[in-house]
A and B are shown apart, each in its own frame.
Chain A
Amino acid sequence: MQQERTVSPADPSPMVVVEHLVKRFGSFNALSDVNLEVAKGEKIVLCGPSGSGKSTLIRCINHIEKHDSGRIVVDGIELTDRICDINNVRSEVGMVFQSFNLFPHLSVLENCMLAPMKVRGLAESEAHQRSMALLRKVRIHDQANKYPAQLSGGQQQRVAIARALCMQPKIMLFDEPTSALDPEMVKEVLETIVELAQDGMTMVCVTHEMGFAREVADRVVFMDRGSIVEEGDPSRFFRAPNTERAKAFLNQIIH
């Protein structure tokens, strides 16, 4: 199970390394030669026009999409086709989806308890305790016995965040976590993610919420047509992007 790692305090090895990543859908190049390193504790916001490959990139990081070539190393474990590598990586990587993807037939609490019990082998009481603690953290513990359909979109997304956290991941991936929400619910979800960031969680977040990006991100990565076009400090990026494509994109989303 335990991978051998050489970590010295002076050499903080990166949480995620992506090298020369290529992903094709048929003849369409979703990702062409993408390189990205995410340091431990770093918060990265991925942005770019739709179809630019940002979702595909984070979906490759936990192997929901299988990459065609290149390397992905997550916390020292290289993603290969071996199912044990894939599951080792997945159990360290939490993911939150645009459409929540909660299990509709399970209560909020059961949604949170399932994976810790089945994957981590936690006892029921332990899983219960951990789930309740994390539901409290996202301020939804009073709804623990309800079913997803009985909650608002914002509440569902916070449950989804708690469910991912119950696996105690080392990194969290957010795939447009607020895009499917009614406007009045965006804030409560973003606040939850901000708190998580303040706790020091490593995260990669695909989002168009630029206020959020300014507040949280250590680095903004701008993608277009399957490659990383520009990256940098958020305050600089939003004020004065270097590339024309980023400028055009920012003009469009700011209206």
Chain B
Amino acid sequence: MNSLDFSIVVQAWPYLWSGLLFSLSLTAAAFLVGMFLGTLFALVQHFELRILSQLVRSYVALMRSIPLILVLFWFFFLVPIVLGHLSGNGRPVPVGATYTAFITFGLFEAAYYSEIIRVGLRAVNKGQFEACQALALSTFDTYRHVVLPQVFRVASPIILSQTIILFQDTSLVYVLSLTDLLGAASKLAQLNGRLVEMYLAVAVVYLMIGCAASQFVASLRRKYAIAGARR
């Protein structure tokens, strides 16, 4: 093999860029959906709502024990069939690879985020709840203004780790023939035989995004953590 030639990366950049954008938008969507549902799931368990919390527990256990790649497959092949049955005529209704990816990632991540938030909820001091009761705050206001903000703050490093893993996991969309950053790089690498350059370049991009995310959370923590009170 000749010496490294990175001009190939520059040429390939537009294609890599579109892959990166897909990875980022999938991450962002899965983060938002996952955090929203995850918070809801965690609250259901926190309030010990009888049947619902049993359902949520089973859901979380199921999602966490199955590889994401398998969930993607299932979703891609099963949901069209289910939709077909629901619509009546029994013919599968294709969902499409992109929708499958967005929905699956959101639902899958919800299971992981809900575990993080559930633990965070347990870490909130009992006195905080009592103070809210004594002030006659409604349950909604208690969670909205007092409990959840503290949970998100305490859990932010773990939420970040999970989100970085999520970002890296977006490469699994290759099974749906979608092209993310890593997928784009490997396609081009196969095509022009410059595997080392392409994979190095992609690694640098992953590294930069990972570092930027850590910095971002660290700055958030600096801004809000003066509130401090490590307890």
> What is the bound-complex CA distance between A105 and B131, given in angstroms?
14
Q: Are B229 and A147 in contact (CB under 8 A)?
A: yes
Residues in B neighbouring A118, C-beta threshold 8 A: 137-138, 141, 145
> What is the bound-complex CA distance between A82 and B102, given in angstroms?
44
Q: Are A149 and B131 in contact (CB under 8 A)?
A: no
Tell me which residues from 130 to 164 in chain B have a Cβ below 8 Å from any Cβ of chain A.
Answer: 130-131, 133-138, 141, 145-146, 149-150, 153
Q: Are A62 and B153 in contact (CB under 8 A)?
A: no
Confirm or deny: B122 has a beta carbon within 8 angstroms of a beta carbon on chain A.
no
Q: Known contacts A101-B128, A118-B145; is A91 also within 8 Å of B229 by CB?
A: no
Residues in B neighbouring A106, C-beta threshold 8 A: 146, 227
Stretch of A2-10, A92-100, A223-231 on the interface side: A92-100
Residues in B neighbouring A64, C-beta threshold 8 A: 130, 133-134
Q: Known contacts A103-B128, A105-B150, A105-B153; is A90 also within 8 Å of B134 by CB?
A: yes
Confirm or deny: A114 has a beta carbon within 8 angstroms of a beta carbon on chain B.
yes
Confirm or deny: B228 has a beta carbon within 8 angstroms of a beta carbon on chain A.
yes
Confirm or deny: A130 has a beta carbon within 8 angstroms of a beta carbon on chain B.
no
Confirm or deny: B51 has a beta carbon within 8 angstroms of a beta carbon on chain A.
no
> What is the bound-complex CA distance between A91 and B125, given in angstroms?
22
Q: Are B133 and A101 in contact (CB under 8 A)?
A: no
Mask of B77-121 contacts with A, CB within 8 angstroms, 1/0:
000000000000000000000000000000000000000000000
Q: Are B135 and A167 in contact (CB under 8 A)?
A: yes
Tell me which residues from 178 to 231 in chain B have a Cβ below 8 Å from any Cβ of chain A.
Answer: 224, 226-231
Residues in B neighbouring A87, C-beta threshold 8 A: 136, 138
Closest chain-B Cβ to A107's Cβ sits at a distance in Å of 8
Residues in A neighbouring B226, C-beta threshold 8 A: 147, 149-150
- The residue of chain A having its C-beta at the shortest distance from the C-beta of B142 within the complex is A118
Closest chain-A Cβ to B123's Cβ sits at a distance in Å of 12
Q: Are A114 and B137 in contact (CB under 8 A)?
A: yes
Q: Are B135 and A114 in contact (CB under 8 A)?
A: yes
Closest chain-A Cβ to B229's Cβ sits at a distance in Å of 3
Closest chain-A Cβ to B115's Cβ sits at a distance in Å of 22
Mask of B16-43 contacts with A, CB within 8 angstroms, 1/0:
0000000000000000000000000000
Q: Are B229 and A97 in contact (CB under 8 A)?
A: no
> What is the bound-complex CA distance between A147 and B228, given in angstroms?
8
Confirm or deny: A158 has a beta carbon within 8 angstroms of a beta carbon on chain B.
no
Confirm or deny: B14 has a beta carbon within 8 angstroms of a beta carbon on chain A.
no
Q: Are B133 and A104 in contact (CB under 8 A)?
A: no
Q: Which of B125, B137, B224 contacts A101 (CB 8 A)?
A: B125
Provide 28 A-B residue pairs closer than 8 Å at the C-beta atoms, listed in order of the A residue. A63-B133, A64-B133, A90-B134, A93-B134, A94-B134, A97-B134, A101-B127, A103-B131, A103-B146, A104-B231, A105-B153, A105-B224, A105-B227, A106-B146, A107-B227, A115-B135, A115-B137, A118-B137, A118-B141, A119-B136, A119-B137, A119-B141, A147-B226, A147-B227, A147-B228, A149-B226, A149-B229, A164-B135
